[in-house]
Every structure is written in structure tokens, then in C-alpha cells.
Amino acid sequence: MTRLKSMALATLGLTLALAAPARANETVRIVHTSSSTYMPAFVAKDLGIFTKHGLDVNFIPTAINSNIPAALVSGSAEIGGPSTAVLIQAVDGGLDLVAIAGTGLAYPGGTNEAAVARAGSGIKTASDYIGKRVGVPGIGVITDIFFRNWLILNKVDPAKVNFAEIANPMQFDALRAGTVDAVVANDPQLFRLINSGVGVEAGAFLDVLPGAIPIIVYAVTADYARTHPTTIDAFQAAHREAVDYVMAHQEESKAIMAKYLRLPADIVKDMEVPRYQTDVSVSQIAMMIDILKRQQAVQSNLDPGKLVFK
């Protein structure tokens, strides 16, 4: 074989390698809460999309979203799905984390998050929440932040509302028992609460958002991002593929989600599938930072560009 021909074959091999999709060879643990925003990841696991991209994925459920950054820093999981607000607050608190992907979007007019009042409570407007006890999935998680943002923009001081942490799976029982007057919910729990008659929608707080913001971001430690770029590329590619599948096969995808969240299939079969977006933009992080600043929930002058993996 001539030297020229050998060089040509080597160049062709390099070109094909660069053109091939990212493929890792990693076992990855993903910590998550009970939310429809994780649906593409469940689909990617169930249909072997993660495996195709070289990822052996195992899911770790947790009840409170704000626990996820600690799981990442402690090494209990490689990838976590904190809310965008939780990620920002964790970085503001000194943790070195970055977003590698987004998933379900919150946007004006969206119907997959809302405040739900107990039937017969009389709660209808923002001012009706003054003095009431409201269950949120976690203090400082994104649904809590979005609800407080809605209160503020409707001239209600959140300090006049009594908040309690009620994990997503426990919201139905808490509202039915009267432990709380209302809950701040997302799908699939939101659909269940309203469809069952236990609660009524009493605050479409997404309508006051300045634009589309990822509800959940997939995050890793900055050190993991530096040392596992191929794994991250593979995760992003698999997630994009799964998003395409979810939008084309919504009924099948909802059934898969119900299996992973251990929910009865009839609870999710009629719920609306969220809008998903794998890529996270700096401007979306900036919008969330502004909302948090309005609530004095961040103390430092964060650079949104440093929170997004590049």
C-alpha cells in the first residue's frame, strides 16, 4: 500500500469517526422527581435509545427536587434533573453545577402547571391565598417560584401565605384530607387532582412568565462535565431522539411514563403532553435568574452563560 493511499484511508477513517453520532460506554445514574417533564428520558430508557448511544441508565427517584444538587455533589448520581430554579439557587449557594440539557417547558398559556385549591375552599384569585396553607413540592423548587412570582405580580406578598412542603405523590391525599387549602401542582398530579374533583384550578401562574423556560434541566457537576464530554454528547443525542418519539407517539409515551413513575395508566392517559426542548439557552437561564432576583432568592451576581454546558 502506498504512503499516499494509507494517508487517504486514515483521513477517511477520521472523517467517518467525526461524522458518527456520539457514543459513550458509561453507566449513568439519573436522579429525578415525579413529573411528566422526565418523559423523554423514561422513553429513551424503555425503548433502548440510551443503550443505542452507549449509555446504561438507571433511575433514582427522590421525593423533593431540591435534594438533587446534593445527590450530584455527593456522587450518588452522575446526572440529576433539578428544576431550573433549584439549579440556579444551588450555584448561587456555591455548588459547581452546569445544565447539560433541558426537557419540559413552562410558557405563557401552558397547562401542565397550576395552583389547585381544595374543592369548596372558595379560593379563586391571588388575594384569596392570603392566610391560607399551600402545599408546594419543595420550598424553592420551580413550581413554588413560579407561584410566588404570580402572587407578586398580582400584588400579593408571598410572606402572607403559609407554605408547606408536600411531595408531588402526596398532594392528592393532602388536598383531599384538608391538610392544605391548595397545592401548587404539575402533571401528571395536576390532571389527577382536577379530574378527580378533589381540587379546582385556582391560579394559572404560567401565564405571567416572560417567555418559555425549562421546568427541569439535566445537570452535572462541572468536574463531571470536563471529564465526560462524550457521555454528555451521547445523553443529549439520545434525549433529542426520545423527544421526537414522544411527540410522534404520545399515548405510548404516557404509558411508559406511568410505568416508571408507578402511576395507574388511567391517571395519565388524558393528560396533555408537555412541550420539550433538549437544548438550554443562556437567555432562558437569564429569565429564571431575573424571576429569582425579584423574590430575593439569589444573592450573587450570577453569569447565566456559566450555568450552561458548552
Per-residue pLDDT of the chain (310 residues; tens, 9 = 90+): 444 344 333 443 434 334 444 556 789 999 999 888 999 999 999 999 999 999 999 999 998 888 999 999 999 999 999 999 999 999 999 999 999 999 999 999 998 899 999 999 999 999 999 999 999 988 888 889 999 999 999 999 999 999 999 988 899 999 999 999 999 998 878 888 998 999 999 999 999 999 999 999 999 999 999 999 999 999 999 999 999 999 999 999 999 999 999 988 777 877 788 899 999 999 999 999 999 999 999 999 999 999 999 8
Tell me, yes or no, whether 83 and 136 share the same domain.
Answer: no
Q: How far apart are CA 76 and CA 126, in angstroms?
A: 39
Question: Which backbone phi and psi does 108 adopt, to 5 degrees?
Answer: -55, 130
Q: Is residue 13 assigned to a domain?
A: no
Per-residue confidence (pLDDT) for residue 17, from 0 to 100: 39
For residue 165, how many C-alpha atoms fall within 13 Å in the half-sphere facing its CB?
A: 10
Same domain, 289 and 216: yes
> In terms of domains, do 99 and 216 share one?
yes
Q: Does any domain span residue 8?
A: no
CATH of the domain at 275: 3.40.190.10
240 and 126 in a common domain: no
> What is the Cα–Cα distance from 223 to 236, expressed in whole angstroms?
18
Asked if residue 225 is part of any domain, the answer here is yes
C-alpha span between 273 and 187 (Å, rounded): 9
Same domain, 185 and 224: no
Any domain includes 9: no
The answer for residues whose C-beta is within 8 angstroms of residue 112's C-beta and 6 or more apart is: 36, 104, 106, 186, 187, 190, 215, 271, 272, 274
pTM: 0.82
Instruction: State residue 102's pLDDT score.
Output: 96
Q: 117 and 93 in one domain?
A: no
Give the 3-state secondary structure of residue 45. helix
Cell of 198: 378533589
Give the residue from 174, 192, 208 where a domain finishes. 208
Residue 2 in any domain: the answer is: no
Question: What is the number of domains present in the chain?
Answer: 2
Buried b (16+ CB within 10 A) or exposed e, 129-165: beebbbbbbbebbbbbbbbbbbbbeeebebeebebeb
Contact (Cβ atoms closer than 8 angstroms) between residue 7 and residue 226: no
Q: Do residues 248 and 280 share a domain? A: yes
Position 35 scores a pLDDT of 87
Looking at the fold, whether 87 and 134 belong to one and the same domain comes out as no
Last residue of a domain, one of 151, 183, 208: 208
Same domain, 30 and 68: yes
Position 78 in a domain:
yes
Last residue of a domain, one of 152, 175, 208: 208
| 166 shares a domain with 228 | no
Radius of gyration of the chain (CA): 21
Q: 66 with 39, same domain?
A: yes
Has residue 173 been placed in a domain?
yes
> Structural domain of residue 76, as residue ranges?
22-106+212-307
The answer to whether residue 64 sits within a structural domain is yes
Say if residue 228 is in the same domain as residue 254.
Answer: yes
